[in-house]
Amino acid sequence: RLGLRQSVEGHQGGFSPTRLLLTFYESCGGTVSKLLEALVAMERYDAVELINSALSIRTDDCKREAIGRDITGGRPEGHLQVTR
Predicted confidence (pLDDT) per residue in 5-41, tens digit: 565 555 566 777 777 777 777 767 777 887 888 888 8
pLDDT at 11: 57
Domain edges within the chain: 5-72
pTM of the model: 0.47
Give 55-74 pLDDT, tens digit per residue: 887 666 676 676 666 655 55
CB burial string 56-77: b at 16+ within 10 A, e below: eeeeeeeeeeeeeeeeeeeeee
